[in-house]
Structure 1
């Protein structure tokens, strides 16, 4: 605070009757703090590696008061040395007391992050948090980068420390935001519990920081050529070929492909209803209403379904089965490791991740001149903006014009 004037420390002569407080002999670790409206005694000590300064209750500053303050400090030091000092017992209203638990230990970030993880686990049990979202949060909390906070006390988690950590991560903005979500929740809870006076996130310009420090994503749309698709289908075994042919013909998300059921096939209308997605071994509806959609089935897709009928139509609800177990797929990692990677090797096709099958479907339609709005509806996107952003280079120039110009051109 402002308005302070220096006070004489220990070693000063005892005051004479009527002498000023400046002549009071202050015991070691005791100081007079002078403010605009009052003067207070303060004691200083170190606890759990934290330098502590505590103001004593207002009272006339006399030699007796100074001696009492020195005695209090001596008692605090003795309790600290014995391991029996409880901060809140002596200074219950001190902000510093909130940095220590009831046993006098510093509140560590590792403890709060662990508590946050337990909270997420309860939310999964209560079905207020999806297992897939929980997996993302758990991965963030247990990540190597988050270990930076393991030995940091809550009181030391300053905005500057947070800013330096984020600025040095060297990952994409999306990855950074995913990592920061549980950490932000920790600080929000600490603020609500009055363990801290402010949320460090509120004192950093996160958007600007991420723009300046995050790296651009190195992921790119890299669709398979017609020759590569033919090579993959030719190299596929009989129990693999129908699913791969259907996937290239529909561009479903991996989870949608794995969750597909026979009763969603409209043979008369040549379309399939997509309303389920397999995520973290749990089938659920899409994240958005746009994800629930009817995907048109071309002759290649219908032929693939007919070829698959003998293998799974009477076996159960799911269309596509893991050839190794003859049971429904449980995770996209299964497809990648047991089917996709070996298939690319057999076909002699340069490896790209399986999601490129979806990109191949979209880019092929756009290259053939399909309307981007139709492609967006088939992919299950909320609007066409993502199609232009991700697949812009595959869209014919006529469709690159603003929508108003497209409508006028169609009426000419």
Structure 2
């Protein structure tokens, strides 16, 4: 009896039909069967054991074919990387990755075996890019990510991207507006968009942050003073979270901002979002630049500067007035004081405050007036009285004060 049980156990998962042995086993709810093409029981048992090991290790009867990694192209790895990585980055970041890959990287490396791409190949590629250092560094970011993925998957032995050092980037050009230029610009802009530009100039908000503001974010009754809560952005026509943890913040409303928002409420107070286009659509950077910014600059006779200079103008105004650097950092939503020093060092004075009053005292000759126009929602201008000093870098500012 015991001999029969032992023989049955040894021949488990084996069947014999027409003098030929077959393997048959149910695994993970699926039946696997295979003709062993042998009449010898010992050989059948060896084949049975081989298939059992494959089922346990691979979930199939046959071991997967060994891949020749030397012929896997960069394009194949990039395609697999994209299907996974797209879900792991901010939606506002992914379009730039796609632009870098489709416009620069894939045309050069798509059909090259990824294991054969050398350090020199990457350097030669980067040197041929007709872009600045910052853009060149950004273009290589998704390429580095593809190589990191290939490295973790064991597709490559040498991750050449780890040897590539970032190019030194020039600090962004700080070309703030003077008070006179701010006034001329506000005089020239369409009345509908005057509150928008005033808020931009006197809060230093990023465009995405300002475009994402809802009236519920304007905490008008907050004590001891009204504040704006920056908690989302509107980028690539989608609402999202702020750029960094530090970007989520409360910012103080200077008198210019409060009056601008009062006028804005007459325009969009019945809507969810504070700032909308004149035809009721969500505000976007492209709309502001093409339809509002450029026409106003041309009308005011001011040389073109990108809209980001409203943010730089706010920073330089506050620092020149002697405001506390930490307060300016919080207003801008920068992650570190180092960035403030690096970008605005020439405007940082020796003694500072932290509440906006130094700025209001410094520009005490400025007044905010409203012109009610029949048929329009009102025009807001920042008036500069005779004798007021235009904004200048700190070294010139100190010299002027001493004189």
Q: TM-score scaled to structure 2, two decimals?
A: 0.65
Q: Which structure 2 residues correspond to residues 141-160 of structure 1 after superposition, within 5 A?
A: 141-144=101-104, 146-160=106-120
1:164 is aligned to: 124
* Change beyond 3 A, Cα 1:303–1:180: same
Which structure is higher in RCO with an 8 Å CA cutoff and minimum separation 6? 2
1:320 matched residue in structure 2: 275
Q: In the comparison of the two structures, how many residue pairs are matched? A: 285
Aligned to 2:73: 108
Whether 1:297 and 2:253 are equivalent positions in the alignment is yes
Q: Does the CA contact (< 8 Å) of 1:243 and 1:320 recur in 2?
A: yes
Using a 3 Å threshold, how does the CA distance of structure 1 residues 110 and 173 change in structure 2: closer, same or farther? same
Secondary structure, counterpart of 1:283 in structure 2: strand
Q: 1:256 aligns with which of 191, 203, 209?
A: 209
Q: 1:176 aligns with which of 116, 136, 147?
A: 136
Structure 1 residues 396 and 169 mapped into 2: Cα distance closer, same or farther (>3 Å)? same
After superposition, the CA RMSD in angstroms is: 2.3
Aligned counterpart, 1:350? 303
Q: Kindly report which structure 2 residues correspond to 1:26-65, keeping only aligned pairs within 5 A, or say none.
A: none
- Return closer, same or farther for 1:178/1:216 CA change in 2, 3 Å cut-off: closer
Paired residues of 2:75 and 2:106 also in contact (CA < 8 A): no
CA contact (8 A) 1:291 1:380 kept: yes
CA contact (8 A) 1:259 1:278 kept: yes
Q: Which residue in the other structure is 1:192 paired with?
A: 152
Instruction: Please report how far the alpha carbon of residue 173 of structure 1 lies from its aligned counterpart in structure 2 after TM superposition.
Output: 4.6
Distance in 1 (CA, whole Å) between partners of 2:178 and 2:132 is: 29
Q: Which blocks of at least 5 consecutive residues in structure 1 are unaligned? A: 1-91, 101-106, 400-412
Equivalent residues of 2:268, 2:274 under 8 A apart: yes
Deviation for aligned residue 1:255 = 0.6
Give yes or no for contact 2:190–2:292 (8 Å, CA) kept in 1.
no
2:89 counterpart of 1:118: no
Moved more, 187-196 or 165-174: 165-174
For structure 2, list consecutive stretches of 5 or more residues without a partner in the other structure.
1-64, 353-403
Distance 2:320 2:268 in 1: 34
Q: 1:306 to 1:161 in 2, by over 3 A?
A: same
CA distance in 2, matches of 1:372, 1:363: 11
Contact 2:214 2:274 in 1 (8 A): yes
